[in-house]
Structure 1
Amino acid sequence: MDFDLSPKVKELSARLNAFMEEHIYPNQDLYQQQLQEMGYGIEHWENWGAVPIIEELKPKARAAGLWNLFLPDSGKGGGLSNLEYATLCEIMGRALWSAEVFNCSAPDTGNIETLERFGTEEQKRQWMDPLLAGEIRSCFAMTEPDVASSDARNIGSTIIRDGDEYVINGRKWWSSGSGDSRCKLFIFMGKTDPDGADVYRQQSMILVPRDTPGITIKRMLPVFGFSDAPHGHGEIIFDNVRVPVSNILLGEGRGFEIAQGRLGPGRIHHCMRLIGQAEVALEKMCKRALQRHPFGKPLADQGVTRERIAQSRILIDQARLLVLNAADKMDKVGNREARKEIGMIKVAAPNMACQVIDWAIQAHGGGGVSNDFGLSYAYSRARAIRLADGPDEVHRDQIARLELRQYKTQ
Structure 2
Amino acid sequence: MSDKIPIIATGRVSEHAKKTLDIVKRFVEERCIPADPVFSAQIDQGGADRWDHHPSVIDDLKTEAKKLGLWNMFLAKGHYKESPGFTNLEYGLMAEQLGKSRTASEAVNCAAPDTGNMEVLAKYGNEAQKKQWLQPLLDGHIRSAFLMTEPDVASSDATNIQLGMKKDGNDWILNGQKWWSSGAGDPRCKIYIVMGKSDPGNKDPYKQQSVILVPADTPGIKIERMLSVYGYDDAPHGHGHISFKNVRVPASNMVLGPGRGFEIIQGRLGPGRIHHAMRTIGAAEKALDWMLMRINDPKKTPFGKQLKEHGVILEWVAKSRIEIDAARLVVLNAAIKIDELGAKGALKEIAEAKVLVPQMALTVIDRAVQSFGGAGVCQDTPLANMWAQIRTLRLADGPDEVHLQQMGKNENKRGQEVTANILKQAETTKQMFAKYNVSLAHIGPKSKL
TM-score by length of 2: 0.88
**1:26 aligned onto 2:34:** yes
What SS class does the counterpart of residue 304 from structure 1 fall into?
helix
What SS class does the counterpart of residue 339 from structure 1 fall into?
helix
Residue 96 of structure 1 corresponds to 102
What SS class does the counterpart of residue 257 from structure 2 fall into?
coil
Residue 260 of structure 1 corresponds to 266
1:341 and 1:408 mapped to 2: Cα distance? 23
2:95 and 2:148 mapped to 1: Cα distance? 24
1:280 and 1:226 mapped to 2: Cα distance? 20
**Pairwise mapping of residues 153-164 of structure 1 onto structure 2 (< 5 A)?**
153-164=159-170
Query: Hey, which bits of structure 1, 4+ residues long, moved more than 4 A?
Result: 43-46
**1:401 aligned onto 2:409:** yes
Deviation at 1:293, TM superposition (A): 1.2
Answer yes or no: is the 8 Å Cα contact 2:44–2:50 preserved in 1: no
**Which amino acid counterpart does residue 259 of structure 1 have in structure 2?**
I
**1:359 aligned onto 2:367:** yes
1:233 and 1:176 mapped to 2: Cα distance? 4
Structure exhibiting the larger radius of gyration computed from Cα positions: 2
**Which amino acid counterpart does residue 166 of structure 1 have in structure 2?**
W
From 53, 66, 91, the equivalent of 1:62 is 66
1:405 and 1:166 mapped to 2: Cα distance? 42
**1:105 aligned onto 2:111:** yes
What SS class does the counterpart of residue 364 from structure 1 fall into?
helix
- Give deviations 1:252-307, integer Å, cap 9, x for gaps: 11111001110011000101111100000001111111112111111111111111
TM-score by length of 1: 0.97
From 361, 376, 398, the equivalent of 2:384 is 376
Answer yes or no: is the 8 Å Cα contact 2:33–2:102 preserved in 1: no
- Give deviations 1:208-251, integer Å, cap 9, x for gaps: 00111110001110000001111100000011111111110001
Aligned residues: 406
Deviation at 1:186, TM superposition (A): 0.4
1:240 and 1:321 mapped to 2: Cα distance? 48
Residue 301 of structure 2 corresponds to 293
Deviation at 1:154, TM superposition (A): 0.6
Deviation at 1:78, TM superposition (A): 2.2
2:199 and 2:98 mapped to 1: Cα distance? 41
Residue 211 of structure 1 corresponds to 217
Answer yes or no: is the 8 Å Cα contact 2:149–2:181 preserved in 1: yes
Deviation at 1:22, TM superposition (A): 2.9
**Which amino acid counterpart does residue 65 of structure 2 have in structure 1?**
A
Deviation at 1:44, TM superposition (A): 5.3
Deviation at 1:408, TM superposition (A): 5.1
Residue 142 of structure 2 corresponds to 136
**Which amino acid counterpart does residue 367 of structure 1 have in structure 2?**
A
Answer yes or no: is the 8 Å Cα contact 1:179–1:231 preserved in 2: yes
Sequence identity percentage = 51
Residue 426 of structure 2 corresponds to none
Answer yes or no: is the 8 Å Cα contact 1:92–1:273 preserved in 2: yes
Q: Is the deviation greater in 23-32 or in 362-371?
A: 23-32
Answer yes or no: is the 8 Å Cα contact 1:139–1:175 preserved in 2: yes
Answer yes or no: is the 8 Å Cα contact 1:45–1:179 preserved in 2: no
Structure 1: segments with no counterpart, 5+ residues: none
Residue 168 of structure 1 corresponds to 174
Structure 2: segments with no counterpart, 5+ residues: 1-6, 421-449
Deviation at 1:407, TM superposition (A): 3.2
From 318, 325, 331, the equivalent of 1:317 is 325
1:304 and 1:152 mapped to 2: Cα distance? 44
1:407 and 1:240 mapped to 2: Cα distance? 51
Answer yes or no: is the 8 Å Cα contact 1:74–1:116 preserved in 2: yes
